[in-house]
């Protein structure tokens, strides 16, 4: 594994000076993923905040070959490029070792790009797909996605007198990808950067399709102060809302287990989108959210062969 000194010395693949919001954790997640990838990389990104803020014409923040994709086809594009690379390599026209990374937000991954991601994973391309999950369609004004947490206030699932935010629990996308029997799948968080770094290195070194789901807190979308993004990511892990684990050789493994599992309220209380959960009349919703986190955490512990 590369040392911190080696990581810091690497030429950045994404330059500073892009147009992301102050305190944008998706941007940090991209930096962490790309720093973890040594050598030649070709990347693509589905339409969404990160594609928009890094490619405002006539500028680009990308120091590597980058392909702009529509909302639904980041995985399809990169799998096509990877297939072409295999042909050129076989014919001796390319000799370099090149890695391929497709990025997408949760809207572009959990929802609209799911079929192209599923196809790429099933066909077995030697590529890494990274989902930066900021838990809503942020670029277009905070609409709910199938990754949005239960009871979160969004523009299309708002909090009012009758409805109290999103009604459904988030889709278990990492598990859906694991069901494809991929070479490697993991959940990571920029708050645990060493863990994320190791997962990216592993995903790129393994032959075959790999997937990493990275939690990426969004200050305007989640409504927390812009210097608290990493703390939001850390609390999502410490409350077990966002467990850090990986899937390899048919087995799931926790890569971090909180010493003391914090209640979900430690995470929700800092975020404007959950403000209503901390009012007396909505306490039952907070309890419901906690029960689902506990249920999923216990299910994962059992799958990982761990005790509580
Ligand atoms: C088929 C299609 N539907 C809708 C849009 C409009 N659109 C562009 S980006 C976006 C939201 C992206 O959300 P997400 O993938 O979660 O990324 P984020 O903006 O949160 O980074 C939408 C709805 C589109 N470009 N294409």
Q: CA-CA distance, 112 to 308, in Å (whole number)?
A: 36
Q: What tens digit of pLDDT does each residue of 18-60 get?
A: 999 999 999 999 999 999 999 999 999 999 999 999 999 999 9
C-alpha distances out from residue 137 to 149, 186, 193, 258, Å: 13, 22, 24, 29
Structure token digits, residue 42? 């070709």
User: Best substitution site from 71, 129, 134, 170 to test ligand 1's pocket, by max atoms within 8 Å of Cβ?
Assistant: 71
Confidence bin at 206 (pLDDT 50/70/90)? very high
Cβ(140) – ligand 1 distance below 6 Å? yes
Q: What is the pLDDT of residue 308?
A: 80
Q: Are strands 128-133 and 210-215 parallel, antiparallel or unpaired?
A: parallel
Confidence bin at 307 (pLDDT 50/70/90)? confident
Please give the share of the chain, as a percent, with pLDDT higher than 70: 100
Confidence bin at 121 (pLDDT 50/70/90)? very high
Q: Are strands 98-105 and 184-188 parallel, antiparallel or unpaired?
A: unpaired
Mean pLDDT across the stretch 9-13? 95
- Among residues 233, 248, 264, which one has the least CA distance to residue 25? 233
- Among residues 144, 188, 138, which one has the least CA distance to residue 170? 144
Mean pLDDT across the stretch 139-155? 98
Largest CA distance in the chain: 68
Q: Are strands 128-133 and 98-105 parallel, antiparallel or unpaired?
A: parallel
Query: What is the SS3 assignment for 160?
Result: coil
Cβ(117) – ligand 1 distance below 6 Å? no
Cβ(145) – ligand 1 distance below 6 Å? yes
Q: Are strands 245-248 and 184-188 parallel, antiparallel or unpaired?
A: antiparallel
Query: What is the SS3 assignment for 192?
Result: helix
Cβ(146) – ligand 1 distance below 6 Å? no
Left (φ > 0), alpha (ψ -120 to 50) or beta: where does 246 sit?
Answer: beta
CA of 107 to the centre of ligand 1 (A): 6
Q: CA-CA distance, 174 to 49, in Å (whole number)?
A: 21
Tokens 């990347």 label which residue? Answer: 43
Confidence bin at 242 (pLDDT 50/70/90)? very high
Q: CA-CA distance, 178 to 183, in Å (whole number)?
A: 9
pTM over 0.95: yes
Q: What is the pLDDT of residue 271?
A: 98
Q: What is the pLDDT of residue 107?
A: 98
Q: Report the chain's mean pLDDT, rounded to a whole number.
A: 97
Mean pLDDT across the stretch 152-166? 97
Cβ(111) – ligand 1 distance below 6 Å? no
Q: Give 137's DSSP letter.
A: B
Query: What is the SS3 assignment for 28?
Result: helix
């Amino acid at each position: 594994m590369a040392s911190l000194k080696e990581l810091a010395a690497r030429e950045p693949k994404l330059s500073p000076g892009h147009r992301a919001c102050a305190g944008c954790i998706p941007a940090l997640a991209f930096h962490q993923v790309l720093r973890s990838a040594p050598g030649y990389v070709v990347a693509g990104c589905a339409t969404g905040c990160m594609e928009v803020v890094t490619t405002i014409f006539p500028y680009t923040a990308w120091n590597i070959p980058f392909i702009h994709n529509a909302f639904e086809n980041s995985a399809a594009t990169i799998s096509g490029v990877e297939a072409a690379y295999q042909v050129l390599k076989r014919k001796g026209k390319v000799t370099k070792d090149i890695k391929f990374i497709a990025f997408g937000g949760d809207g572009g991954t959990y929802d609209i790009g799911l079929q192209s991601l599923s196809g790429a994973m099933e066909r077995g391309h030697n590529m890494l797909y990274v989902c930066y999950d900021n838990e809503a369609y942020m670029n277009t004004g905070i609409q709910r996605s199938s990754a949005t947490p239960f009871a979160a206030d969004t523009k299309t699932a708002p909090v009012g007198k009758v409805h109290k935010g999103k009604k459904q629990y988030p889709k278990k996308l990492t598990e859906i990808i694991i069901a494809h029997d991929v070479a490697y799948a993991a959940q990571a968080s920029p708050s645990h950067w060493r863990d994320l770094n190791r997962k990216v290195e592993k995903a790129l070194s393994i032959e075959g399709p790999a997937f990493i789901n990275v939690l990426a807190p969004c200050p305007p979308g989640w409504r927390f102060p812009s210097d608290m993004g990493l703390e939001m990511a850390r609390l999502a892990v410490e409350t077990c809302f966002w467990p850090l684990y990986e899937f390899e050789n048919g087995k799931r493994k926790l890569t971090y287990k909180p010493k003391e599992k914090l209640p979900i309220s430690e995470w929700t209380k800092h975020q404007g989108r959950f403000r209503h959960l901390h009012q007396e009349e909505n306490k039952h919703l907070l309890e419901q959210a906690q029960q689902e986190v506990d249920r999923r955490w216990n299910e994962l512990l059992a799958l990982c062969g761990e005790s509580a």
